[in-house]
Chains A and B, each alone.
Chain A
Amino acid sequence: MIECKEICNLLSDLIDDELELNLEKEIRRHIYKCEKCSSSLNTFTKTLDLIHSIKSQPIPLKVHKKLWKVIYIETRHLKVKYGQKRRSLGKHR
């Protein structure tokens, strides 16, 4: 018989679909009958839904421009310093 505490430790594996089928079935049967574990799975799932809903914001234009300026300078600088091909670049730096 699987205990409530063990189920708490396996919630991530259950949600991430990383349990063996027989163990998953046993856990799901327990959760179906156990109000505490059912509530625990419910709140855990909602927390994960919220975490997963965090989307990357677009990069701010100012940050983007600064990055590209630096990259432009760097790529031109290295070409002037080491020539068009950068195959041996690692040996120089």
Chain B
Amino acid sequence: MIEILKNLSDEDLVKKVREGNDKAFEILVKRYEAKIYALILRFIDNQSTASDILQETFLKVYRSLNNFRGDAKFSTWLYKIAVNFCLMYKRKKGKTVSLDSPVNSDSGEEIKRELPDWSITPEVSTENIELRKKLEGAISMLSEEYKSVIILHDIQGLSNKEVSRILNISIPAVKSRVHRARLFLREKLSEYFKQTYD
């Protein structure tokens, strides 16, 4: 029975849950728990709180399945619930950095907006721990509106349309924010390369 359920689409599993099949819900949770936890952790950066929000998200999904109209994918709806919980939590906490603000180095100096040549630098990969840390730090500096598009679009790999539905913004707004966030991240990484290889 479980093996058959595992092969069903998200939307078919939702139908099964509505008919009272909780095993189908378990399959949905198994399918998304790691992705949703990773998503939440990027927003919240605290394991304990992220764990609580993960639980809230799936409870809300389970309790609201009858409200899921199916005009968007189940995964889009699930992401939207998780992101809304994260943003609500962050709003209570405050603190974001606007991309319109000048970019400052760790020592407080404003970064010159020039482009270094990275051709002499080592291969960019996750093995480069220092660079990875720099990127993580830069992502955490983004304001929520930019951070959310980078997480959903570039890290989670969702389409512009999906991100647009999750965040309730237009597709051109998604594309614009993704681009500005990428430029910001490049600038932060440029600083690292300049410091290391000058």
A-B contact count (CB 8 A): 128
Enumerate 23 A-B pairs (CB-CB under 8 Å) in ascending A order: A12-B178, A12-B182, A36-B115, A39-B115, A43-B190, A44-B186, A46-B124, A46-B189, A47-B185, A50-B124, A51-B155, A53-B124, A57-B34, A58-B34, A62-B51, A66-B51, A67-B33, A71-B26, A71-B62, A74-B59, A86-B66, A87-B18, A90-B64
Asked whether any CB of chain A lies closer than 8 Å to the CB of B31, the reply is no
What count of chain A residues pass the 8 Å CB interface test?
47
A46 to B47, CA, bound (A): 29
Chain B nearest CB: distance from A46 CB in Å?
5
- The answer to whether B119 and A42 touch across the interface, beta carbons within 8 angstroms, is yes
Question: What's the minimum C-beta distance from B83 to chain A, rounded to whole angstroms?
Answer: 16
| Selected contact of A49 from candidates B55, B124, B175, CB within 8 Å | B124
Bound Cα distance from A12 to B176, whole angstroms: 9
The answer to whether residues A12 and B131 also contact, given A54-B155, A57-B38 and a CB cut-off of 8 A, is no
- Which residues of A are in contact with B by a Cβ distance under 8 Å? 8-9, 11-13, 18, 36, 39-40, 42-44, 46-60, 62-64, 66-68, 70-71, 74-75, 78-79, 84-90, 93
Considering only residues 41-88 of chain B, those with a C-beta below 8 Å from chain A are 47, 50-51, 54-55, 58-59, 62-67
> From DSSP, what is the main secondary structure of chain A's interface residues?
helix
Question: Secondary structure at chain B's binding surface: helix, strand, loop or mixed?
Answer: helix
- A86 to B, closest residue via Cβ: B20
Top-8 shortest CB links A-B: A90-B66, A56-B38, A12-B179, A47-B186, A59-B34, A63-B51, A75-B22, A70-B55
For B61, the closest partner residue in chain A by CB is: A71
Q: How many residues of B contact A (CB 8 A)?
A: 49
**Once the chains are docked, how many angstroms separate the CA of A77 from the CA of B148?**
34
- Measured CA separation A27–B125 after assembly (Å): 28
Give bound CA distance, A65 to B65, whole Å.
Answer: 23
Task: List which B111-128 residues lie within 8 A (CB) of chain A.
Answer: 115-119, 124-126
Is there an interface contact between A67 and B126, defined as CB atoms closer than 8 Å? Answer: no
B38 / chain A contacts, CB cutoff of 8 Å: 56-57, 59
Contact present for A67 and B178 (CB under 8 Å): no
